[in-house]
Structure 1
Amino acid sequence: MSKYDIPKSKGYYVLFINVGKACRITTRSGKKFNIKPGIYVYLGSAFGRGGLYSRIMRHLRKRKKLFWHIDYLLTCKQVEIIEYLTIECSKNKCIDYESFISRTLTNMFEPIKGFGCSDKPKDTSHLFYCGRSMHRCKSLIEKILANTNSKL
């Protein structure tokens, strides 16, 4: 996983996160989340200035202004991004992969209800607990994306 591999274009991304120790977070809006140890999948979009590169690099930094739910999780001890996937596309020329994957994963993995999806009320979550197997998590996401003809 290298910063040189991150495209500068806009699109969607999937973060694979290892939580080594239980973490309790409280967001700026007062929402509380209890996060147990294991592998998680986080879904996001990057259509602002700097695109995927800027957004993923922000997530990889330990020091940052806390804004999104994911920022609070990533500041916990023993929490790290171990891999990521990107889907390059312009907002009006592709499906909403963030919601598509979210709705698919809701039936497969344990959603952390209300996490990271306040801008998309039809989504249950944008963070999913998928157990202890990184390989299982990643291969499932890749299968979902392969069925949509997306370019990883």
Structure 2
Amino acid sequence: MRSPEEKQRPRCPRPPGEPRWVAMFHEPAQDTWTVGAESPYREPVLYAVGDMTRTVRARGAEAAVALWGPGDGGWRLYGTPSAPPPTPVPERPAPGSAAPDRLAERMTDRRHQVLMAGLSKAGLYDLGPEDGEAVRTLVDRLDEPTVRRVAHWLSAAGGPR
């Protein structure tokens, strides 16, 4: 059980700059708040908060988030929830569950986006059907770190000379 002192966190400071949607994460090791996500729109920030919170919890730590946004002509703190207890994760997916398929599809889409971004930075915008098939083949056969490396090479090739 944690002591009351451990449960209390310092008040989250207001983010700098003009009001926009900002998620601030508390870092217990440094006892500081840092910006985790920001956008003029609320939805992308909430999406990022969900992803970051799941990552922190997967590492066995507690996530503390403060959500700031525009309100009444200035900044408004929409909440500083301490993370609820992690939801139990089933040891095995239920038979017929689509969760592993959705994760695989998401990772494939992510690798595809990374590779397409690298091609765009290399100046290759007008891709034909054969190019699309080549990208799909690479995405299916390569893991994410390798796709990121290839995208980095393409970005460097298309950069200023």
**Higher RCO (C-alpha 8 Å, min separation 6):** 1
Name the TM-score class by shorter chain.
Answer: under 0.3
Larger Rg: 2
TM-score (structure 1 length as normaliser): 0.25
